[in-house]
Homo-oligomer: A and B are copies of this chain.
Amino acid sequence: MSRWAPDARERLVAAAFDLFEEHGYEATTVAQISERASLNRATFFRHFADKREVILAGEDALSDLFIEGIRSADSAADVYRCLRSALECAAQVMTPQQRVTAGRRIAVVAANPELQERGELKFARITQAMTTALRDRGIEELAARLGAEIGLLAFRIGFERWMLADDSRPLAALALTALEDLRARAHHI
């Protein structure tokens, strides 16, 4: 068992999903995940706070990408252009390989109410972080809060379409289309 395996994180994720599918999420232990990945428990805990985080760590990464996208938007960008930048930034890391992992992830979460709750919580935190990032650009409070809700909803809808799609359109295109769809409806509320 190498403590310094450079691909330790990916191996732990793959091992965890194999075990979740074989025995169920509840019945799988951190010890079993570590063993399957040929790593020790200490290595597991260097990468994840607990078993749940193997499933949900992606949401934290997502939050960081949204913020990065909002910050890097053109200095004259309005809310809409900040949201486009956030979606493009977040979606670019979603490779076809990750679409496979995402499918496995959705199946595990769908079978576990506690994970669904945790996921909703992470989404609430992403919305708060996006609101702050928009406000930090000088965007007024209510526009920032509304923009954060619409931006996250666009990502969620784009992601759902990406998972359902039988073609290979990248997530970024689908998320930006979802933003346009929501924008058209927002103009008529």
Interface residues of A (CB under 8 A from B): 79-80, 117, 120-121, 123-124, 142-143, 145-147, 149-150, 153, 157, 181-183, 185-187, 189
A189 near B124: Cβ-Cβ < 8 Å: no
Return the contact of A146 from the options B117, B143, B145, B189 (Cβ within 8 A): B189
Q: How many copies does the complex hold?
A: 2
Query: How many whole Å from A112's CB to the nearest CB in chain B?
Result: 15
A150 and B157 within 8 A (CB): no
| Chain A interface mostly | helix
Assembled-state Cα–Cα distance A153/B124 (Å): 12
| With contact pairs A120-B124, A181-B142 given, residues A80 and B150 touching in the complex (Cβ less than 8 Å) | no
Q: How far is the CA of A185 from the CA of B186 in the complex (A)?
A: 9
B121 x A79 contact (CB < 8 A): no
A187–B186 CB distance below 8 A: yes
Q: How far is the CA of A183 from the CA of B143 in the complex (A)?
A: 10
- A29 nearest CB across to chain B (Å): 24
Are A182 and B150 in contact, with the CB atoms below 8 A?
no
- Partner pick for A149 among B120, B142, B149, CB 8 A cutoff: B149
Given A79-B189, A149-B153, A150-B189, check contact A182 B142 (CB 8 Å): yes
**B-chain residues with CB within 8 Å of residue A145 when the two chains form the complex:** 153, 157
The reply to whether A146 and B142 contact each other, CB–CB distance below 8 Å, is no
When C-beta atoms are compared, the residue in chain B nearest to A143 turns out to be B185
A150 CA to B189 CA, complexed, in Å: 9
Q: Across the interface, name the chain B residue whose C-beta is closest to A151.
A: B189
B79 touches A147 (CB 8 A): no
Please give the distance in Å from A109's CB to the nearest CB on chain B: 14
